[in-house]
Amino acid sequence: MWILILLAALELCWAQYSPNTLPGRTSIVHLFEWRWNDIALECERYLAPNGFGGVQISPPNENLVVTTPWRPWWERYQPISYQLCSRSGNESEFKDMVIRCNNVGVYIYVDAVVNHMCGAAAGSGHYSTCGSYFDSGKRDFPAVPYSGWDFNDGKCKTTSGEIENYNDLYQVRDCRLVSLLDLALEKDYVRSKVAEYMNHLIDIGVAGFRIDAAKHMWPGDMKAFLDKLKNLSTEWFAEGTRPFIFQEVIDLGGESIKSNEYFGNGRVTEFKYGAKLGTVIRKWNGEKMAYLKNWGEGWSFMPSDKAVVFVDNHDNQRGHGAGGASILTFWDARLYKMGVGFMLAHPYGFTRVMSSFHWPRYFENGKDINDWVGPPSYEDGSTKPVSINPDTTCGNGWICEHRWRQIRNMVIFRNVVNGQPFTNWWDNNSNQVAFGRGNQGFIVFNNDDWNLTATLQTGLPEGIYCDIISGQKEGNICTGIKIHVHGDGTAYFNISNDAEDPFVAIHVSAKL
């Protein structure tokens, strides 16, 4: 009897906070703007074999087709209906992706855009990805259907109808965010339509949702539609499994809306994480890596078991959203790999890796004037497939950070050290730091402008280990630096500040 009660309690504890990834798979990757066909292939050929737990996908529902500017990435954040067709593919392609990824144990997390529909000035017609009619002026979206009654125009108290002041929580939640028509989620009808959309995706087999613009919805309204969600499909998940929920709430401190208001609904994106880590690794504002000793709650982040963390996301890598110039991205590859390496080695939070496309970044007066540019595409606007080069990197303009050796191997590191405590911290009071994860893994960074030479306690069993940053273990061969851990757990590290990647990581699965 008490076992049943314990199990029930565990169920309640974890519920929507559990990512639902397979045991031992501890990260997901955001395949931003990828086509469903390419994601299905990537699950089978790369993500499953390398221990990725899942994929956050771009919004799958019908959206406005924006032609000025030409097909920006942000058109997918302007819904027209909840039919499943977008530049990533149609409903049959979506289903095929979910089934194929699920069958190899890589689960799908949908970016759910349910705070709003398209912009107020979008106009009327069939300029939508499935060709459904809409009239933004009349608030008419017959393919859902939504009409004027289903929007917050009457509730918003600003004269412009827009959010004018982020310190007024009523404006932030009842008014239009950058002119996007704000849904009246206090209405049961609207909640039911949102839940119907999400339940359709659950029936197909998805494992959870990123809830876009959660800060712009009342937590109670969200709870009302989340409570209407089904359990996950028992074709792939245990009976009674709740969808994983993580909410996009940008809280860098200093505004009226706080992340903790949303903890009842699920996890929340911790935006302080990437902003602060970028500042430390760039050594701005007198920050240094030695200060990372109490990284996590010690930096006034939210509790680890509520946090989804990332170095950059699709917004802040191009100056949208929040975090500012400190955010590390693929554009600063050397620092970026260190940042992602630190994140994946550190126990705090549930980790999401970013996978981007290239765009012609061009700064004018400190702003990237090409921050709108959409995914690699053909003249007709259709998205280009992800091509794979002989050296396993991606072509056709896809960056594929998740395929970079250093990042992919750190995803595996995190799986190997899963559940192990944060141990054996060392620093030189500057930018040389190291820490272990119990007796399973150890990582050393040299972000100073001089060489690191130190004998450190690793906590690992005696042996010769292969550094998974400069290379990796292939059969019984190490293609990178070898590290000798002595019987007392110590090892000598020598990391040049000029190294291609000035950090070294070892774990028990890469022992020779």
Ligand X SMILES: *[C@@H]1O[C@H](CO)[C@@H](O)[C@H](O)[C@H]1NC(C)=O
Least Cβ distance, residue 149 to ligand X (angstroms): 27
One-letter identity of residue 52 = F
For residues 454-473, which are near ligand X according to CB under 6 A?
454
* Residue among 44, 494, 509, 511 that touches ligand X (CB under 6 A): 494
Bridge partners for 433 per DSSP: 427, 445
Least Cβ distance, residue 283 to ligand X (angstroms): 13
Region near ligand X per CB under 6 A, out of 148-156, 243-251, 428-436, 460-468: 428-436
Q: Cβ atoms within 10 A of the Cβ of 47, count? A: 27
Q: Is the CB of 367 or the CB of 486 nearer to ligand X?
A: 486
SS (H, E, C) 40-87: HHHHHHHHCCCCCCEEEECCCCCEECCCCCCCCHHHHHCECCCCCCEC
DSSP 8-state assignment for residue 506 = E
Give the helix ranges, DSSP H, for 104-235: 169-174, 188-204, 219-226
428 lies in the binding site for ligand X (CB under 6 A): yes
Least Cβ distance, residue 129 to ligand X (angstroms): 12
15 lies in the binding site for ligand X (CB under 6 A): no
Bridge partners for 442 per DSSP: 436, 506
Give the helix ranges, DSSP H, for 79-174: 91-103, 169-174
Region near ligand X per CB under 6 A, out of 85-93, 142-150, 211-219, 411-419: 85-93
Q: Is the CB of 125 or the CB of 240 nearer to ligand X?
A: 240
User: Choosing from 212, 315, 467, 501, which is the catalytic residue?
Assistant: 212
- Maximum Cα–Cα distance across the chain: 75
Q: Is the CB of 396 or the CB of 428 nearer to ligand X?
A: 428
One-letter identity of residue 490 = T
Cβ–Cβ under 8 Å, residues 466 and 412: no
Cβ–Cβ under 8 Å, residues 397 and 376: yes
474 lies in the binding site for ligand X (CB under 6 A): no
User: Choosing from 62, 248, 251, 501, which is the catalytic residue?
Assistant: 248
Number of residues that bind ligand X (CB under 6 A): 21
Q: Is the CB of 340 or the CB of 505 nearer to ligand X?
A: 505
Catalytic annotation present for 248: yes
Helix (H) / strand (E) element for 189: namely helix 188-204
The C-alpha atoms of residue 392 and residue 384 are separated, in whole angstroms, by 18
Catalytic annotation present for 62: no
145 lies in the binding site for ligand X (CB under 6 A): no
Interaction mask 210-249, ligand X, x per CB under 6 A: --------------------xx-------xx---------
451 lies in the binding site for ligand X (CB under 6 A): yes
Q: Cβ atoms within 10 A of the Cβ of 462, count? A: 12
- Footprint of ligand X on this chain (CB under 6 A)? 90-93, 230-231, 239-240, 428-430, 432, 448, 450-454, 494, 496, 498
For the annotated catalytic residues, the residue numbers are 212, 248
